[in-house]
Chains A and B, each alone.
Chain A
Amino acid sequence: MSIEFDNNLPIYLQIMNYIKREIVTGKLKAGEKIPSVRELAAELQINPNTVQRTFQELEREAIVETRRGLGRYVTSEESKIMMIKKEMAGDLLERFIHGMQELGFTSEDIAAIVAEAVQEGAAGSSRSSD
């Protein structure tokens, strides 16, 4: 694993997001074991208590689970992983819409622009696959 940290933001949040992304993109599979606190801390060169906190938060959100004596595992509930995906999509959308609104676009404008862009994107990808 490698993360470019932004020291201006809480590190545990950055690791949380990183792990969530790894899960959503399938690099960390459902039910797969995740590294120990010690391993991840050494690998990322960060404070072990920060990693501990990250894992606690992920556990609280039921994204990882501890199996006593065995370590921590990614949840095997696909629905949970779907939920993370939706959550991340929601964040992206929110930022996008906020940015567009700042540029002065109305809701209708934004919807039209997105629809057009998606269609172009679809056309573009079908062309390139020809």
Chain B
Amino acid sequence: MENILEFKSVSKSYGSKKALRDVSFSIGAGKIVGLLGTNGSGKSTIMKIAAGLIPSTRGTAAVKSNTPGLKTKADVSFMPDQPLTESWMKVRDAVHFYRDFYADFDEEKARKMLDFMNLNEKERVTSLSKGMNERLHLTLTLSRNAKLYLLDEPIGGVDPVARDKILDAIVEFYNEDSSLLISTHLVRDIERIFDEVIFIREGEIVMQQEVEALRMKYGKSVDDMFKEVYA
């Protein structure tokens, strides 16, 4: 089957700093893939290239065989690690903002998700806690009917309760025909929702592995492998 996302020998430099070196990987349809690495390992750079926000310096990236850009924006729903909402917005405005922007936005699904997340439509986005903000952005991101969802650190810096809720929502609301790429450095809490994991270190792919195969082969959790790779 056609890969949803494919990187071939992608390198990226910011000035003289090399963020990615010769990165190759692919993500098949219907997969939930973890992009695991410590801070500064290149996770967000991969996300941004896949989302078509920045170009690669060398190599090719493709979403359903198309170079990321205008054409692929309809297929890709990206949740950046920084909030996208404006300070004047209420939760409802944020939803309308997304609805107006994206033709594939499913308002009905958004309403269900807000409910599930205990988010009040009348609340101001500036008054939301960090965990609530993550919930809102996950709602906005997953309410699009996209082929590829890119979640950059969806559980970074939120408490365990919010984390649980976010994981619940991902499993409950993701669309089975689409693929998810989730970057994180918090492996333990989230490893059970992955089909595969990609380990990235200093801009290079260390390993891509099916998680159940990894457990079978090494008798170890992804979290333990992660600690070994980055120790």
Contacts and interface: CB of A to CB of B under 8 A. Distances in A.
Given A7-B222, A7-B223, A8-B224, A46 B192 contact: yes
Nearest to B188: A7
B226 to A, nearest CB: 11
A47 interface: yes
**At the interface, is chain B mostly helix, strand, loop or mixed?**
helix
16 contacts: A7-B188, A7-B191, A7-B192, A7-B221, A10-B215, A11-B192, A41-B171, A44-B192, A45-B164, A45-B171, A45-B192, A46-B171, A47-B193, A48-B171, A50-B192, A50-B212
Interface in A37-75: 38, 41-42, 44-50, 53
Interface string B171-200: 110001000000000001001111100000
B54 to A, nearest CB: 30
Interface string B196-231: 000000000000000110011001111110000000
| Interface residues on chain A, size class | 10 to 19
B30 interface: yes
Contacts of A50: 192, 195, 212
A5 interface: yes
A1 interface: no
A44 B171 CA distance: 10
A47 B192 contact: yes
B192 to A, nearest CB: 4
A38 B173 CA distance: 10
B74 interface: no
A42 B222 contact: no
Nearest to A41: B171
The 5 closest A-B pairs by CB, nearest first: A7-B221, A46-B192, A42-B172, A10-B212, A10-B215
B168 to A, nearest CB: 6
Given A9-B215, A42-B171, A49 B223 contact: no
